[in-house]
Amino acid sequence: MVIKLSKKEAKKRVKKLTSEIDRLRLLYHVKDDPTIDDVVYSSLMDELRGLEEVYPDLKSPTSPTQRIGGTPLEKFKKTRHLVRQWSFDDLFDFEELKKWKEKVIRMMVKKGFKEKPKYCCEIKIDGLKIILTYKNGKLVTAATRGDGVVGEDVTHNIKTIHSVPLELPYPIDIVVVGEVWLPEKELKRINDERKKVGETPFANARNAAAGSIRQLDSRIVAGRKLEMFVYDIDLLEKNDKYLTTPKTQIEELKLLEKLGFKTNKSYQLCKNIDEIESLYKSWIDKRNKQEYAIDGIVIKINDIDIQSALGYTGKSPRFAIAYKFPAEKTTTVVEDIRVQVGRTGVLTPVAHLRPVSVAGTTVSRATLHNADEIARLGVKIGDTVVVQKAGDIIPEIIEVLINMRTGDEREFDMESACREVCGGPIIKDTIGVKGESESAAYYCKDKNSFAIQKERLSHFVSKKGLNIEGCGEKIIEQLMNEGIVSDAADIFELKIGDIDNLERFADKSALNLIDAINVAKKVKLEKFLFALGIRYIGEETTILIVNNLDKITKDEINNLKDLKNIFSRITVEQLENIDGIGSKAATSFVAWFSDVKNQKMLERMYKLGVDIIVEKNTEVNEKISGKTFVLTGALPTMSRDKAKELIRNAGGKIVSTVSKNTDYIVAGQKAGSKLQRAKELGIEVIDEEQLQNLL
C-alpha cells in the first residue's frame, strides 16, 4: 500500500484505524460476535502497519500491530507483583464442602457478620494464571504467578493474545487476574505439527498453554492462538468519574466485561451449598464438551466486604475454595497383591500393578486399604481394574472390569496373607469414642510383635528419624534376633562388647555404631517426636506441635523427663487448637503419651542421656513462610534432607509431587521428570544458591 498522507493526516488516520480495529477485535475475540470478514480486518491492519512504517513515531506500545513481537528475548525478567498472589485450597466431595461452609460461617460470626453467605460459583479453567497490570488504562505488565510475590514478565507474549485489551476504555489503574488457555482444536493442530517434525506432543492443553507463554520468541506464541479469561480484580484505583467500585464478586465480573476483558459467562450465584452441588454435578457431565479444559468450580463468598474481612491464610483465601472434579482415571492389570506391615501394626494390602501413567505420573502400586475394600471391589490377582490418582493422593483401585476376566484370575486371602507377614495372631481393633465398632483394618494382635517392632525401630534410627549411621534395617533385625534390642531405649544402652562379636561387625564398625548412637542422643524435639513413629504424626505435624507449644503448655520443656510429664497430661482438645492438626492425629498423640509403657521408655532414655533440643521457630521468613517446595536431583553442597530441614525451619512446606500449587522446585544435578513437569506448569525453578538466598 502506497502511503500519500501528510503526518497530520496520518495521525488522524492511525487513531481512527486503531479505534476500529480494537472495536472489531472486541467483537470477535471477546464477545464472540464477528461482524466483518477477515479480509477486511486484515486490510485495515495492513494500512495501519504501513502508516507506522512511514511514521514510526506514531507507533504506540498499545497499537494493534504490537501484538506480534519482533526480536526474541534472551531471558525473562523478574517483576514484583503489586498484590500478593494466592492459590486456592481444594476439596473433592460434598462432605468437605459442608465442612468448609461451616468453617466460613464460624469465621463470619467472629467478624460480626450475621447474614447467610451467598456464593459466586465460576468454572475453574485449567490453564496458566497471569496477572495484568494497567496504568492510566494501558497494559504495562503481564506476569506469571511465580512465588506469589515475584513473577516473570511475559508481557511480550501476552500481547499476542487478541482477547487481552492493550488499552482500556477508561484511563484507570487496575490489576486483574486471569487464566490463559488453549482451545482443544488448536492443541490438536499444534500436536499434529509437532509429530510431523519428530517433536513430543503436549500432554494436554494446559501444558501447551504454559509452554507457549514460556517461549522467548513471541512470534511462536502468536501462532498458537491462545485465549485468556479474566476473573478477578486485585487492585482498582478508586475513580468514581469513570466507574463504581464493585461490592460483590458478580459485580466485579460485570465490571471486567465493561472494561473489555473476556470473562467466562458460566458463573452463577448460589444461595446455599445444595445449589453449589447441583451446579458442580452439572459441570461434571459438561466439562469434556467445552473448547477449554475445566478441572472444577471455584466457590467465592459473593460479598466483597466479607471477603476482605475473612482474608487469607499463609497461602490461600479463606473466602474461596476450589471444588475439584473427580480424579483422573485409567485402566491396568493387578499383577499381585501383597500385605505391608506398618510401624503401628496396621496390615495394608497393596496391589502391584502393570505400570501405567495416571495424572502425569507412572503408577505401579495402589492401596487396597483393607479386607472390606477388597471384598467390596471383588478384586482378584490378574484383574483389569480402573485406577485413579488425585494430586499427591496415593493411587487407588476404584473398579474391577468384570467383563475383562479370562478365568485365570486368582482369589486373594487377606487373613492368611496378614498372618504370614505378622508372624502371629491378627485382630481388628475397635474404634469410636467408646470402642463401639470394629475397624475395617487388620492389625498384628501383639503390638510388640517382631514385624511391628522391626518397622518401628527401623523408622526410629532412619535418616528421617534419629539418623543413626550404620544402623539400618538389617542391623536392627540382627540385634532383635540376638535379643539385644527390643525397644528404642535399648539402642542407647548398647556397648561395644554387646555387638563386636556379632556377624557384620568388626571392632571398627562396632565403635562407629556406638559413636553414631552417642551423636544421636542430642536431637531436636521435632525429629525425636517423628522418630517415635506415632500413628498419624508426620514430619510436618511434629513441626506444628513444636512451633505451637504455648498452646499446649505454659511450662518449659528442657529435657525428656519434662516432655514425659507434660505430654502425658495434654488433651485432644489442646492439640486440636493448633491449626493443621486434626482429631485423628491428636487422639493418636495423646494415646501414645498416655501409655505407661511408653512413659517408662522415655524415662529410660532420659537416664541414658538422650537430650532433646527445643528450638521453636519464632522468626518469620516472608520469602519462605507458607510456600510449597519440591526438591529433585542432587544438590552441590548439602543433602536434600538438610535442605528440607532448612526450608521447614523457615516456615516452608515440603511436598513430593509437582503440581500447580507448588511455589518452587529446587533442582540439582540429574533432576528428572519433576523438573520437566515444573517447566510445563510455569513453576519457578531455583538452584541451591538461589535457595540459600531465600533462606
**pLDDT tens readout for residues 259-318:** 999 999 999 999 999 999 999 999 987 887 888 888 899 999 999 999 999 998 767 899
Backbone dihedral angles phi then psi of residue 497, each to the nearest 5 degrees: -65, -20
Averaged pLDDT for residues 457-484: 85
Which position has the grid cell 501394626?
345
pLDDT at position 647, please? 87
Nearest to 342, CA basis, from 534, 589, 480 = 534
Residue 99 is a catalytic residue: no
Distance CA 187, CA 207 (A): 10
Domains along the sequence of the chain with CATH: 7-67 (1.10.287.610), 90-324 (3.30.470.30), 328-422 (2.40.50.140), 450-613 (1.10.150.20), 628-694 (3.40.50.10190)
Confidence tier at 396 by pLDDT (50, 70, 90): confident
> Three-state SS string across 310-354, please?
HCECCCCECCEEEEECCCEEEEEEEEEEEEEECCCCEEEEEEEEE
Averaged pLDDT for residues 311-335: 84
pLDDT at position 439, please? 66
Burial class of residue 588 (count of CB atoms within 10 Å of its CB; 0-12, 13-18, 19+): middle
Distance CA 306, CA 321 (A): 15
Confidence tier at 392 by pLDDT (50, 70, 90): very low
Torsion, Cα 491 496 500 505, to 10 degrees, reads 60
Which position has the grid cell 475513580?
239
Confidence tier at 444 by pLDDT (50, 70, 90): confident
pLDDT at position 435, please? 47
Mean pLDDT value across the chain? 83
390: pLDDT strictly greater than 70: no
Which of 124, 129, 159, 653 is an active site residue?
Answer: 124
Cβ of 575: how many Cβ atoms within 10 Å?
23
Torsion, Cα 16 20 21 25, to 10 degrees, reads 150
Nearest to 309, CA basis, from 106, 121, 131, 120 = 106
Which residues, 6 or more positions from 563, have their beta carbon under 8 angstroms from its beta carbon? 525, 557, 602, 612
List C-alpha distances in Å: 88 to 477, 503, 655: 46, 55, 17
558: pLDDT strictly greater than 80: yes
Residues 502-516: pLDDT tens digits? 777 766 778 888 899
Its pTM stands at: 0.48
* Helix, strand, coil share of the chain (percent; to 5): 40, 20, 40
Distance CA 474, CA 664 (A): 37
Backbone dihedral angles phi then psi of residue 151, each to the nearest 5 degrees: -125, -175
pLDDT at position 71, please? 54
Please give the residue that has the higher pLDDT: either 418 or 383.
Answer: 383
How many residues are there in the chain? 695
Which position has the grid cell 517423628?
530
Distance CA 479, CA 470 (A): 13
391: pLDDT strictly greater than 50: no
432: pLDDT strictly greater than 50: no
